[in-house]
Amino acid sequence: MTHRFPVRVYYEDTDLGQVVYYANYLKFIERGRSEWLRSAGVDQTALLDRGLAFVVRRVEADYLRPARFDDALEVVTTLDRATGPRITVAQVVERDGTPLFRALVTVVCVDLAAMRPQRLPPDVLAALSR
């Protein structure tokens, strides 16, 4: 399933040259992943109640072109794979269909009490596989 999440670049997202500050792309894709999970039917609050959470393990990022103040962007999120405790997603930040930033993000499901990897619950795996 491919999910699209709109993002507007605000002044606070930019540097002195009105170009998006590099670390803010990570914020944009975090929001995109959260909305992707929500749209798939994965309730992260319910996971927390079960003592589970997702933590970012790895981000491979490529900055391709600059985004600027007031740009209308889209974060495109697609499942790459989900196995064991890991979910890997491909994410692209686009402006008018042109890729500006690409990332491959690995998140791990962890047991919050022990902060140890925990296999993805069957209901989460089923939701992501639809």
Q: How far is CA 46 from CA 31, 49, 52, 113, in A?
A: 18, 5, 9, 16
Instruction: Domain 2-129: give its CATH architecture.
Output: Roll (3.10)
Catalytic residues: 15
pLDDT interval class at 111 (50, 70, 90): very high
**52-96, pLDDT tens digit by residue?**
999 999 999 999 999 999 999 999 999 999 999 999 999 999 999
Q: Which residues of 87-115 are buried (b: 16+ CB within 10 A; e: fewer)?
A: bbbbbbbbbeeeebbbbebbbbbbeeeee
**Segment 42-46 mean pLDDT:** 96
Bridge partners for 88 per DSSP:
81, 106
pLDDT at 82: 96
pLDDT at 130: 83
Q: Is the pLDDT of residue 28 over 90?
A: yes
| 86: nearest Cα among 64, 110, 62 | 110
Q: Is the pLDDT of residue 1 over 90?
A: no
Q: Is the pLDDT of residue 13 over 90?
A: yes
Q: Is the pLDDT of residue 50 over 90?
A: yes
pTM of whole model > 0.75? Answer: yes
Domain positions in the chain: 2-129
pLDDT interval class at 3 (50, 70, 90): very high
